[in-house]
Amino acid sequence: MSYDFIKAEQTTATKTTAGVIIWSNPNVDVQITSEGKVLKDGELLQPKDVRYKPYTIYIKSGEKWRIYSAGFNSLYSRMVLGVKLGTKTIKLKDSTKGYVEGNIEVVKTYYNAITKGVDTKVDKELSNVVPKAQGTPMKDLLDEQTKTQVEQKLFYTLYEAKNEHITEDGAVFPTKELAEWHQEKVSKGKGNAQVVLDYNGGYVLAEQIYFQEVVYNRTKPYTNFIDVLNNNQGIVSNVQDEHCKFDKLDNEHGFRSEICFMTLRKQLPEQVSKHQAQKIQGALERYSDNVKALDESIVGLEALLKQVK
């Protein structure tokens, strides 16, 4: 069965700042949490059936990914406990504590003829199983936020420092002087190659003549020689210092604002240093959070006033 490809020894556990544990396994395309939730790519996954709560998942069987339906308990038993439940199921001793060590019981349900109801019997052997995934290295993210929490969304883009000069053959050099030295050879090589083409020598021979002038110690920087011949732009320089731009001040990137912010926005420089951007980012986060809180309070107040009427 494909569930057998899920090895608890391969499961890694991550703890969030809120103390929630997230388990991941390389052979399953979803993650599960100690709160009993199923995540996919950091987003909460909804069961396809509200009553039985099976989730659509993919399990890697050998080299192929196959689609299956699985409940949370089945995923937890294989990913964390490393056991097969069979006809049994998992029960929490204290529902408020979640799926943590010491709070889990494996039980078997059966029909009680005396009470004419469904009872459960604890499987003492499986209930004492220590989560195998807990033995793997825990990534303690006490100083970080995770996908299950509100991620920090930067309102700026960092543009790294660049100092590159590209010649007509696609070669990149760190200084203009080196690029000019190489471009001179490229220009001569292209001139010689064009003579061959003018006498119907063909591109293969033309490139070989080009190589007599231009020697590459590494893999040639271009794919097609004809592109080199057609490129007459000379040296293209891309030079810039490291800087940041606040180009994400919109709802799409999680920024909330009011009309009064338009005046402040005009005061933001086109470019700032990384250190300055980090300080401004903090102030913008506090501002955005306050605007969000104000909006929510207004909505809540309006809802209460409607009830009074």
For the chain, which residues make up each domain, given as ranges?
2-140, 168-234, 241-308
pLDDT tens, 259-279?
Answer: 888 888 889 999 999 889 988
Closest to 6 (Cα-Cα) out of 29, 22, 39: 29
pTM beyond 0.75: the answer is: no
CA 98 to CA 104: how far, in whole Å? 9
CA 108 to CA 125: how far, in whole Å? 12
Report residues of the chain scoring pLDDT below 70: 1, 48-53, 110-113, 115-119, 132-152, 309
Closest to 85 (Cα-Cα) out of 123, 128, 36: 123
CA 298 to CA 149: how far, in whole Å? 24
| Contact assessment for residue 228 and residue 206, using Cβ atoms and an 8 Å cutoff | no
Looking at residue 3, its amino acid is Y
| Contact assessment for residue 2 and residue 69, using Cβ atoms and an 8 Å cutoff | no
pLDDT tens, 176-208?
Answer: 999 999 999 999 999 999 999 999 999 999 999
